[in-house]
Structure 1
Amino acid sequence: MSDKPDSPATPPYPDLGKLARELFRRGYHPGIWQIDCKTLTSSGIEFFTTGFASQDNSKVKGSLQSKYKIEDHGLTLTERWNTENWLFGEIMQKDKLAQGLMLALEAKFQPGSNEADGKFKLGYAQENFHFLADIGLNSEPALNCSLVVKHNEFYGGLGGELDVSNVDLKMWKVALGWTNETATLHGELKNGDSWLASLFYKANDKIDVGVEISKTGGAQEGEGGGEQQEQGGDLLVGLGMIYHLEEDALIRAKINNVVELGLGYEQKLREGITASISAVLDCGNISDGNHKFGVGVALQC
């Protein structure tokens, strides 16, 4: 038997560049109060509740999700309800019919309007590739497909969305990257007019840094998460970092070329309770700028 360790599985297309993406977005709560609660019952049902309250108009949104795994049959049953009165359900089977094969059926329904939709999902993953596909079950189905191929530390990906009823390619994207234990370099081109490049680097056990450069063809999303005015395809360049003060605390910071400065602090108060505060400041207009502050609490038991 070979002593060589198994190579990590090839990630699906949505996870490409995830480390850098989360460094700029995770842990920031611009303009909202947020609470998350996760618990596992003695019968094996996992509950996850999340709630958001806007600081501008006090509008509250939230969702309640339950998940139950039937290990003997490789099944995962998921149900979710949100405050807009949408009901979601999913049945997924993984690794039972074949190792790396995933089959899932997803549906959503809004009782008030009788609006309904559904989706069939297929995935197949091995050491050197990961294929994903889903197709809508409504009257105007759209087929989404993606494939990631990996060779040693290099990977490439393709994805697209096809309007099945009109046989029209609505969207395409291609990605290339390189990754190892300490760094990930990722690039993506979408529809020929939008692109993104990012670098994530783990400098040491305490410091993670990242750079993200993007160009979009339409409205640009600011680092604070809100949609800004039309940028006309201008570049958005961001630099971010995380500094781990100790085992239970960390500091986040980021800044971009439109002078938005993001700052965050996260502290584990006790086992199962984590609190975070964050701010996104418009440094180009300190006195009257669109500054946003946020607070988040995560509970787990």
Structure 2
Amino acid sequence: MSLPQPVPPSWKDLGKSSNDLLGKDFPFQGFGLEVKTKTPSGVSFKVGGSRDAKSDAINGDIEAKWADRKHGLTFTQTWTTSNILRSQVEIENQIANGLKLDLNTSLLPEKGAKTALLNAVYKQSGFHTRGALDLFKGPTFTADTVIGRDGFLLGGEAAYNVTEGNVTRYAAAVGYNAPEYAITLHGLNNLKTFSASYYHRVSADVEAGAKAIYDSKSTHGGVALEVGAKAYLDSAAFVKAKINNSGVIALGYTQSLRPGVKAAFGLALDTQKLNEVSPAGPSHKVGLSLTFDS
């Protein structure tokens, strides 16, 4: 008798290990600050802000979240500096085991713009499926499913415009997840864009990954390639580095200053334009991010 299969990752999390390795902890786009607090009653607050180094634009938001774990209910309210109000209501494992429902809405009062997205997630052994209905855009129904067995993964996604009665987008993916490495192949944008990602936990202190993207509609042609690595210096610090085939090198350093306080530094260098004097010039970027979590 075969052992029960684990719940596979969702469609959006296929290739997540490689995406996180190459995409997170490189705060070279500007300066950011995030503060998280939690009240004795269980309400958590998060305040975040960032300044873009290129445009000097400052953006921020404040988020409040209340969760009733006993009844599987979560309510989140967010207000941004762009005067956008976002609300999310989630209900999990109440109607059926493994089923999660949530409603996401946003409102821009000064323009009267609004969105509403109804989501449903159902996951069981070897099976993970999601459905989303965009009530104001189309309306459009999007569904994706991932099936997993013995580490092998097969997934697909499709979007259907209810009003026009046609499929507007479809994609497919295959992959293999092992305890120490993962491989994922995607066919996106109606199978016009293809990506391959690889992640490897070399040891307890070292991780490596790579990602290649080919867009059949690109005017430049060729394959965009990016490789990177992460190394833990100790239990409180790690460094990351990556390089792409355009010659841009990115470096990141994250340090836990004390429990609940984390600082991250980022630097991006265009190796084809190293003669530019200022490291913060148009081809080189630096940034800093601070996180406080109490």
Range class of TM-score, shorter chain: over 0.9
Question: 2:249: which partner in 1?
Answer: 261
Q: Distance in 1 between matches of 2:145 and 2:137?
A: 26
Q: Could you list the runs of 5+ residues in structure 1 that have no partner in the other structure?
A: 219-229
Aligned to 2:86: 88
Tell me the CA shift for residue 231 of structure 1: 5.4
Call closer, same or farther: CA 1:260–1:7 in 2, change over 3 Å.
same
Runs of 4+ in 1 over 3 A off after TM superposition: 4-8
| Residue of structure 2 in register with 1:54 after alignment | 52
**Are the aligned partners of 1:12 and 1:130 in contact in 2 as well (CA < 8 Å)?**
yes
* CA 97–203 in structure 1, closer or farther in 2 if over 3 Å, else same: same
> Cα 1:139–1:128, aligned 2, differ >3 Å: closer, same or farther?
closer
User: Following the alignment from structure 2 to structure 1, what is the Cα–Cα distance between the partners of residues 196 and 58?
Assistant: 35
For 1:57-103, what per-residue CA distance to the aligned partner results, in whole angstroms no more than 9, with x for missing partners? 32100111111111232111111111111101111111111110011
Q: Distance in 2 between matches of 1:41 and 1:216?
A: 48
Q: Which residue of 2 aligns with 1:246?
A: 234
Aligned length: 288
Tell me which of 23, 32, 39 is aligned to 1:41: 39
TM-score by length of 1: 0.91
Deviation at 1:118, TM superposition (A): 0.7
- Distance in 2, Cα, partners of 1:212 & 1:231: 20
Is this contact kept in 2: 1:217–1:232, CA < 8 A?
A: no
Whole-Å Cα distance in 2 between the matches of residues 254 and 139 of structure 1? 38
Q: What does 1:1-301 correspond to in 2, within 5 Å?
A: 7-138=5-136, 140-190=138-188, 191-217=190-216, 232-288=220-276, 290-301=283-294
Provide the C-alpha distance between the structure 2 equivalents of 1:205 and 1:9, rounded to a whole number of angstroms: 24
Q: 1:217, CA displacement in angstroms?
A: 4.5
Q: Using the TM superposition, give the Cα deviation of residue 255 of structure 1 relative to its aligned residue in structure 2, in angstroms.
A: 0.5
* TM-score where L is the length of structure 2: 0.93
Shift of 1:40: 1.4
In 1, the alpha carbon distance for the partners of 2:292 and 2:204 equals 25
- 1:23 Cα deviation from its structure 2 partner: 0.6
CA contact (8 A) 2:193 2:216 kept: yes
How many Å apart are 1:262 and its aligned residue?
Answer: 0.6
Q: Which amino acid aligns with 1:207?
A: V
Once residues 158 and 194 of structure 1 are traced to their aligned partners in structure 2, the CA distance between those partners, rounded to angstroms, is: 14
Q: Deviations over 1:237-290 (max 9, x none)?
A: 111000101110111000111111011111111111110111111111112461
Deviations 1:113-160, CA, capped at 9 Å, x for gaps: 121121111111001111101111116211111000001110110001
Kindly provide the CA deviation profile for residues 160-200 of structure 1, in whole angstroms up to 9, marking residues without a partner as x.
Answer: 11111111222111010001111011110011210110110
Q: Distance in 2 between matches of 1:15 and 1:64?
A: 26
> Taking structure 1 as reference, are residues 243 and 234 closer, same or farther at Cα in structure 2, changes over 3 Å only?
same
Residues 210, 227 of structure 2: 8 Å contact kept = yes
Please tell me the residue identity of whatever aligns with 2:205: K
- Report the 3-state secondary structure (helix = DSSP H, G, I; strand = E; otherwise coil) of the residue aligned with 1:72: helix
- Identical positions, percent: 24
Letter in 2 for 1:246: D
The farther-off stretch of 152-161 and 134-143 is 134-143
